[in-house]
Structure 1
Amino acid sequence: MSVDAGPGTSARRGGVRALAAVAWVFGALVVLAQIVYSMTDPDERIFTTVASVVAFAVASVCDALARFGPRAAALLVAVAGGGGLLAETIGVHTGFPFGEYRYTGTLGLEVVGVPAVVPLAWVMMCWPALLVGRALVARSGVDRPFWLVVGVGAWALASWDVFLDPQMVDAGHWVWTHPTPGLPGVGGVPLTNYAGWLLVAVLMMAALHRGVGQPRVSRELDLRAGPAPMLYLWTYGSSVWAHAAFFGRPVVSLVAGVLMGLVALPFAVALWRAHR
């Protein structure tokens, strides 16, 4: 891994390596927490749920800091964390843009009616989704079509919720007032939710892609800068397996697997090509 030449290059390299190491530690904690989740009784999963989200959010922020610098990390927290809290606050009190829903109080501390862990979930997946969008729109630098990157990144983020929402509804963490119509075979979650996710994801991707600038490492997908690309693929693969074999929802596994797979599978190829 390299950074731009100039004064302080060695120090910057050391800083990138240290941040990347921290990001990888928290990435490993994500995997561990999710494995423990699968071995825990349903009534005792709240700790591993929150731990997984917090660890993933920390890994994403550290990855952004190592890969792009302080501006990117601050922007991620502001756009995904602050924007996620704003969207959820408006959503839970007005029904826009996701549809009418309410949290049931099972996710711990709440801020203006929204569990504090929820904005962290936006942070954790928003960052790898941006990397997916940038990687799959293969033209380099500023020449990449802006709205194509935004669209692909938004799909990478919003399609994940086809896995997430049915799982959280089934666990009793939130409920929908009008859960129909929904996606075929994906019960309990209205189509308005996914439309709202796509809208919010587009706004977040646009702000992040515009603001983070160019990476300070030699390759944008360099895994030595952090685990975010692998965590996106881990989330996809583990979600496909969990819904099919663990949660007993094979249709959700199929539908969400196809929708998120439209970007996850090409991204896996892009990541492999970047490191072969």
Structure 2
Amino acid sequence: MTTRAAPRVPVRVLPVTAWLLGGGVVLTQIVYSMTDPADRLPTTVLSVVLFCLASVLDAASRLGARAAGVLVAVAGGGGLLAEAVGVHTGFPFGEYAYTGSLGVQVLGVPLVVPMAWIMMAWPSVLVGRALVGRGRARGPAWAVVAVAAWALASWDVFLDPQMVDAGHWTWAHPTPALPGVEGIPLTNFAGWLLVAVLITGALHALLDDPGPDLRRGPAPALYLWTYGSSVWAHAAFFDRPGSSLVGGLLMGAVAVPFAVALWRAHR
């Protein structure tokens, strides 16, 4: 008696599902901007969950299930470890505390926080690989990691002011700060850059680099959406023109060249 093999899930299901999740991210964030500030928590969490899942499936569709597992372990586990150490010791970000508004916590860190590290770490690696080079023209690993880490850490110039203003965490010593980004200490951005180097460096070392196909999967588009929508939202909705300008310049240093690369890939 012969047994029939279980039907395989078509490979195209992964990128299609990732694109659907990416569309959900955009829709959720649009709803967020139209919601009263006191009622934004559900859309905050939902957008992170959808973005995280989209990034994981994007990685799986490009490099297989192992890549998705590595992404979750390195970015999620590494982000959780860094945040747990940070919230209990003040290193490497500075002394801060979560207010408890973001829901379930693990080791004193809201579960949604390591998911945020996952969601942006993967697109940031793709940014680094795309801008430094790919295939035979691939640049040195240190350069890929430097660009990827900047792509990830510069996003926090938008994230931290928004979340502090929403009351999700507080800083014990919010000065000195970046000009125009009041309330967030410089130590936080230094800590982000350090952790971003470690996470993106590990991901780049552990995952194959056949060259990022910028035409496949939502991660590249979601990175650029995050950049553009953050510049707009901080200027128009959050009354943070300073962080809109500074974040626009710092994250734009990689986001704008990446947008050009994405445009060329689709020509």
TM-score strictly above 0.5: yes
Question: How do 1:134-149 residues align onto structure 2 when only pairs under 5 Å count?
Answer: 134-140=129-135, 143-149=138-144
Alignment of 1:1-276 (within 5 A): 14-15=10-11, 17-140=12-135, 143-215=138-210, 220-223=212-215, 225-276=216-267
Residues 132 and 138 of structure 2 are in contact (CA less than 8 Å); yes or no, is this contact kept in structure 1? no
Secondary structure of the corresponding residue to residue 179 of structure 1: coil
TM-score using structure 2 length? 0.95
Q: Distance in 1 between matches of 2:214 and 2:254?
A: 19
Name the amino acid aligned to 2:213: L
Specify every segment of 5 or more residues in structure 1 that has no aligned partner in the other structure, as ranges: 1-10
Task: Give, in angstroms, the shift of residue 142 of structure 1.
Answer: 8.4
Deviation at 1:144, TM superposition (A): 2.3
Q: What is the identity, as a one-letter code, of the residue corresponding to 1:210?
A: A
Determine the C-alpha separation between the residues in 2 that align with 1:124 and 1:102: 22
Q: TM-score, normalised by structure 1?
A: 0.92
Q: Displacement of 1:244 after TM fit?
A: 0.6
CA distance in 1, matches of 2:134, 2:24: 34
How far 1:139 moved relative to its partner?
Answer: 4.4
Q: Deviations over 1:156-183 (max 9, x none)?
A: 0000000000000000000000000010
RMSD of aligned C-alpha atoms?
1.3
Q: Secondary structure at the match of 1:175?
A: strand
Shift of 1:240: 0.3
Contact 1:80 1:126 in 2 (8 A): yes
Q: Distance in 1 between matches of 2:116 and 2:80?
A: 10
Q: Distance in 1 between matches of 2:59 and 2:67?
A: 6
Shift in Å, 1:71: 1.9
| Structure 1 residue 140: Cα displacement | 2.4
- Whole-angstrom CA distance in 2 between matches of 1:250 and 1:95: 28
Larger CA deviation: 65-74 vs 162-171: 65-74
1:24-49 CA-to-partner distances (Å, cap 9, x unmatched) read 01101100110110111111110000
Q: Is the 8 A contact 2:48 2:115 kept in 1?
A: yes
Per the alignment, in what secondary structure is the counterpart of residue 102 of structure 1? strand
Q: Per chain length, whose mean CA-contact separation is higher, i.e. which structure has more relative contact order (CA < 8 Å, sep 6+)?
A: 1
**8 Å contact kept, 1:221–1:271:** no
Determine what percentage of the aligned residue pairs are the same residue. Answer: 70
Shift in Å, 1:214: 3.1
Aligned length: 260
